[in-house]
Amino acid sequence: MNKDRFASEIKSIMDEEVKDIELSQELKDRIFKYRKKGLKEKINEFLNKEIEIPLVSVVAISSIIFLIIALPRGLFKIENTSVINIGSSQIIIRDERSLDKND
Amino acid sequence: MIKVKVKVKTLLLILIGILFIIFVIIPFAYIELANYLNNKYPLISDKLYDNYIKYPGGTRKDEAFYKKSQELMANYNKYYIFLGGKLWNSLIDYTTIQEVIENNKRIINEYPKSKYLPSAYKAILDTYIYVGNNEELERWVDWGKEQDKKELRDISILYDGYNHFVNRKYNEAEKILKDFTLGNENLDYIYYYLKGHIAFAMEDFENASYYYEKASEVGWQHKSNFFGSAVPDGRNYWLSTLDLFKGDYKIRGRVTVDGVGIPFVEVYIQHAHMGHSTSDNNFIAITDKNGYFESIGIKEGEYDIGIGIGSPLLFNKVYLDKNLHSITVDGDEEVSFEFTSPMKLISPKAGETVKDNKFIVEWEDVEGADYYTVYSVAFEDPENMKGFSLTFGLKDEKGEYKIRDKRAVFDLEILNGESTGRVFYPNGEGINPQAIIGYFHKGAEMPIIVSAYDKDGNKLNSSIPQAAYYDNVPSIIIDNRDLTVGEELILSREYEKAIAYYENLLEEDKDNIEALRYLSRMYMFNWDKNKRDIGKSIDYAIKLYEITGKTDLLTEIMVQAEADEQRQHKELIEKMISTVSEEDMDELLLDCIGAYYRYIGELAKARDIMAGNLGNTLVPEIIYIDIYLEEFDTALDRLKEEKVKLPKIDKGKLIEGIEIIKKLDKNKDEYMTFKAYLYRLISRELDYNESYNDFQTLYNNINNKGIKIILDEIRKNNRWY
């Protein structure tokens, strides 16, 4: 209990001593500048940071990524085959036949 | 360069949005779009499923695997081979089968909690039945028995039951089915069908009908299939018509590929000469694990028998066609269907260029072969192998179709001089150019096929399988000479200009062989509306014969000319007959001349020519003429000769009819009417439809038993059912 009273006395003495002291704006700014920032503050600062990006490059890169990953492949590349009757047999003629022939 | 200022948090939001689209929205769109297009555009849907499966994202891969394989399985149609003909819908090769199996195996292995798991399991079993793989079927049936999931065990029971049913172990099949639990609408109809099949095989048709009806009551989803076949939803109706077939005689046989029996092949029966049905409803037997089958009891009669087999089995296998179009059941019968690996052609290879007028075809020996025939294929558009196609035998340089050696030499000029396939465009608007100049001209690719036959005309092997990819089919590409000006005109279908060109050519050189041949052919065919002129055609062909001594074109004209046209150009045909020397008269031309005499009413002359020109096969018209000329004993003698065959006609019945009318009063109205009808029939005074009506009118007004019997045989011969 005596300890608490002592602390409050010290505090009131300190308040009395410094009540007429005023910090200049410049000093305030310096203190702010050199104080240690919190993580949340850092993140907020980063998120609100404005960056400049080249529009054409971004659109081009996005489109390429989209084309590579997202667009369906071979959707309209349907193998062109036809079936012919040779006697009573059915023979399938397909596009890559000429490749085989050159083998 | 344009630059935009953007806050990092905005940029991050955009990136998250893009990733969400790429990994969530797009895969979702793929699979939903694939499902939506499934029925309308299966090929596009198939590609979308493929993309979805490979896509880095998506939580419905099992659905894509299953639905993709269902699309492939939608083509699990049977390839129907009857003695009298073949029918097919679509061809599936083993690559597709492998894909179906792999897709469904991945569902089983990678998605054990998938709702598609039972269907994937069933798809695997169906596929192994479709390709006749008994061992794999049994292995997977055993796998199903060990599973915790009840639906898997029920599927296993059904397919185990089916396997016992096809092996004719009907009681065991019934016993297995006792463990099946009804109550799953996806399986109950299969259970009832199988119960129906078992009852049918045991000839308990009443019960079979009951179970088929039950299956229909339960119903099934669109595009369902089971036991490697489409749902035989018309089977109960077919069963109601079974009295047409049902009897005491069994048809037994075997289906083999390279001597190995093929299981799960359905065997069908139809009345002979009645066309063919493509349904899976009417099987009378299914082959067991060794490829053997045994039908239900069949009644006496003439039938066409056929099989329904999965098309992958036909890839690179030759079906050994028998020289038989139907079977006559008058006791237990045996019929087998055999496939073998194709014989090899030594020459030519695929796409071999022919720079000379001649080319050689050489092949490996086939054991037991009596002769070989070399075929090629005529395409409407030979450069691109498109349009109609017709397979035809090639005469070698010695003029032989039946080749007894293992090699033959062919002359392009001879081949182009032959009559082959042709296509007449609708409304009489011309003919394909190759019908005039031949198919073996510069730039054309002609497949070459060799088939081996025994002495009875049964196929022993062939270089062309029942189904194959064209890639390695031997063929020749013609590059022997440039086309002439006239040929270029014909090929571009400028027939009028071609005719003017060749007629001018004849004025300069009256013996120009090319001009005579092409002019004759152009006038023979209706190269443009109403431009056919058989008279001019015969005239040019006679001149060509006088120069070359070849009768091919004359024969072709006689085959092409209608009876009316031949009567109209009697003088020219008589001139032709007197011009052609006896030694140049071949069998076909003599046949045509015999027909000509029929058309002009000189029946005795016609008969003598036809009868003198025959081997062991009798032409019915000869008998009709005998009857018309009232030379009944001559007709009877011909018919009683055992070695003489009369296709499509029952000789015994005809003899019975002739014996009756022999005793008939020849002045009776009924006989006179019949005789007048016979004349119209023999001399082909009427066209096909008029002739049919003429027959019907007469048939309905005739009472005499003998005449009726003869008319019945005439009906059979003309297929007027």
Q: What is the pLDDT of residue B55?
A: 85
**Among candidate residues B482, B515, B531, the one where a domain is terminated:** B482
Compare CB distances from B471 to A78, A83, A100 and report the shortest one's residue.
A100
Mean pLDDT on B75-94: 86
pLDDT (average), residues B312-333: 90
CA distance B45 to chain A (A): 9
Query: Does residue B66 belong to any structural domain of this protein?
Result: no
Q: Is the pLDDT of residue A66 over 50?
A: yes
**Interface contact B13, partner A, CB < 8 A:** no
CB-CB under 8 Å, B30 with A47: no
Q: What is the distance between the alpha carbons of residues B339 and B255, in angstroms, rounded to a whole number?
A: 8
**Greatest CA separation found in chain B?**
116
Tokens of B34: 């694939």
What percentage of chain B's residues is helix, strand, coil (to nearest 5)? 50, 20, 35
Residues B30, A71: Cα–Cα separation, whole Å: 10
Give residue B427's pLDDT band: very low, low, confident or very high (50, 70, 90).
low
Q: Is there a domain that residue A88 lies in?
A: no
Task: Report whether pLDDT(A102) > 60.
Answer: no
Nearest partner of B486 among B510, B522, B511, B526, judged by Cα? B522
In this predicted structure, what is the pLDDT of residue B370? Answer: 96
pLDDT, residue A99, reads 41
Within a domain: A102: no
Residue of A nearest to B21 (CA): A70
Q: With an 8 Å Cβ cutoff, are B465 and A89 in contact?
A: yes
Q: How far is B501 from chain A (nearest CA, A)?
A: 36
Q: What is the mean pLDDT of residues B551-571?
A: 92
Same-domain pairing of B297 and B278: yes
Q: Which two tokens stand for residue B27?
A: 């895969």
pLDDT for B596 beyond 80: yes
Chain B nearest CA to A14, separation (Å): 45
Q: Is B497 inside any structural domain?
A: no
Which positions 392-451 of B are in contact with A (Cβ < 8 Å)? 447, 449, 451
Give the pLDDT score at B586: 85
CATH number at residue B312: 2.60.40.10
Q: B residues 574-613 near A, CB within 8 Å? A: none
Among chain A residues, CA nearest to B349: A101
Q: Is the Cβ–Cβ distance between A87 and B464 less than 8 Å?
A: yes
Residue A11 within a domain = yes
Do B47 and A100 make contact, defined as CB atoms within 8 angstroms?
no
Mean pLDDT of all residues belonging to chain B: 90
Q: Which two structure tokens, joined as six digits, stand for B420?
A: 């082959």
Which chain A residues touch B385 with a CB distance below 8 Å?
84, 93
- Please report residues of B whose CB lies closer than 8 A to that of A83: 91
Are B257 and B251 in contact by the 8 Å Cβ rule? The answer is: no
In terms of domains, do B219 and B268 share one? no
d(CA B53, CA B107): 12
Considering only residues 3 to 62 of chain A, which have any Cβ-Cβ distance to chain B shorter than 8 Å?
46-57, 62
Q: What is the domain count for chain A?
A: 1
Strand partners, B353: B477
Nearest CA in chain A to B378: A86
Mind listing the pLDDT tens digit for each residue in B500-539? 999 999 999 999 999 999 999 999 887 777 788 999 999 9
Residue-wise burial string across B541-570, b where 16 or more C-beta atoms lie within 10 A, e elsewhere:
bbbbbeeeebbbbbbbbbebbebebbbebe
Question: Is residue B463 within 8 Å of B450, Cβ to Cβ?
Answer: yes
Q: Are B590 and B576 in contact (CB under 8 A)?
A: no
Q: What is the per-residue pLDDT for B323? A: 84
**Would you tell me the crossing angle of helices B150-166 and B117-130 to the nearest 10 degrees?**
10
Of A46, A48, A55, nearest to B3 by CB-CB distance is A55
Average of pLDDT values for B412-430?
76
Q: What percent of chain B has pLDDT over 70?
A: 97
Residues of A in contact with B321 (CB under 8 A): 88
| pLDDT score recorded for residue A98 | 46
Question: Considering only CA atoms, which of B399, B393, B426 is closest in space to residue B411?
Answer: B399
Contact B391 A74 (CB under 8 A): no
- B468 shares contact with chain A (CB less than 8 Å): yes
Same domain, B404 and B464: yes
Q: Does the distance separating the beta carbons of B469 and A94 come in below 8 Å?
A: yes
Q: Chain A within 8 Å of B473 (Cβ-Cβ)? A: yes
Residues B22-34: tens digit of each pLDDT: 888 888 988 999 9
**Structural domain containing residue B258:** 244-340
Average pLDDT over residues B602-614: 86
Whether the pLDDT of residue A100 is over 60: the answer is no
Asked if residue B491 has pLDDT above 70, the reply is yes
Q: Which CATH number fits the domain that encloses residue B107? A: 1.25.40.10
**Residues B442, B359: one domain?**
yes
Of A56, A70, A87, the CB nearest to B22: A70
Q: What is the pLDDT of residue A103?
A: 35
The torsion of the CA quartet B553, B558, B561, B564, rounded to 10 degrees, works out to 150
Return the CA Rg of chain A: 40
Q: A50 to chain B: which residues are within 8 Å by CB?
A: 5-8
Q: Residue B433: helix, strand or coil by DSSP?
A: coil
Integer Cα distance of B567 and B687 in angstroms: 14
The stretch A75-82 carries a mean pLDDT of 71
Based on the fold, state whether residues B354 and B456 are members of the same structural domain: yes
B415 lies in a domain? yes
Report chain B's C-alpha Rg in angstroms. 32
Q: Does residue A43 lie in a domain region? A: yes
- The whole-number average pLDDT for the span B283-288 is 95
8 Å CB contact between B658 and B627 = yes
Contact call for B377 and A84, based on CB within 8 A = yes
Query: Does the residue A24 lie in any domain?
Result: yes
pLDDT for position B167: 97
A83 occurs within a structural domain: no
B673 plus B559 within the same structural domain: no
Structure tokens, B139: 């292995």
Over residues B173-197, the pLDDT tens digits come to 999 999 998 988 889 999 999 999 9
How many CB pairs (< 8 A) connect A and B?
127
> Could you give the maximum distance between any two Cα atoms of chain A, in Å?
118
Q: Which residues in chain B are contacts of A69 at CB distance < 8 A?
A: 22, 56
CA B419 to mean position of chain CA atoms: 22
Cβ-based contacts of B2 with chain A (< 8 Å): 54-56
pTM score: 0.77
- For chain A, say whether B391 makes contact (Cβ under 8 Å): yes
* Average per-residue pLDDT for chain A: 78
Is the separation of the CB atoms in B449 and B462 below 8 Å? yes
Higher pLDDT, B342 or A7: B342
Q: What mean pLDDT is predicted for residues A63-91?
A: 78
Interface mutation vs chain A, best among B48, B470, B473, most A CBs within 10 Å: B470
| Nearest CB to A92 within list B6, B21, B470 | B470
Do B48 and B104 fall within a single domain? no
β strands within B193-300, DSSP E: 225-226, 229-230, 246-249, 251-257, 260-261, 266-271, 283-286, 292-294, 298
For B103, B131, B192, the CA distances from B235, given in Å and listed in that order, are 32, 23, 12
Which pLDDT tens digit goes with each residue over B647-660? 778 888 899 999 99
Q: Which domain holds residue A25?
A: 2-50
Q: What is the pLDDT of residue A82?
A: 79
The structural domain count of chain B equals: 6
Identify the CA nearest to B422 among candidates B580, B532, B545, B563.
Answer: B532
In three-state form (DSSP H/G/I as H, E/B as E, the rest C), the secondary structure along A35-81 is CCCCHHHHHHHHHCCEEEEEHHHHHHHHHHHHHHHCCCCCCCCCCCC
Instruction: Give the pLDDT mean for B72-97.
Output: 87
pLDDT at B76 over 70: yes
Q: Calculate how close chain A gets to B411, using CA atoms only, in Å.
A: 22
Residue A33 lies in a domain: yes
Using CB atoms within 10 Å of the CB of residue A68, give its burial: 0 to 12 exposed, 13 to 18 middle, 19+ buried: exposed
B4·A52 Cβ contact <8 A: yes
Nearest to B504 by CA among B488, B525, B491, B485: B485
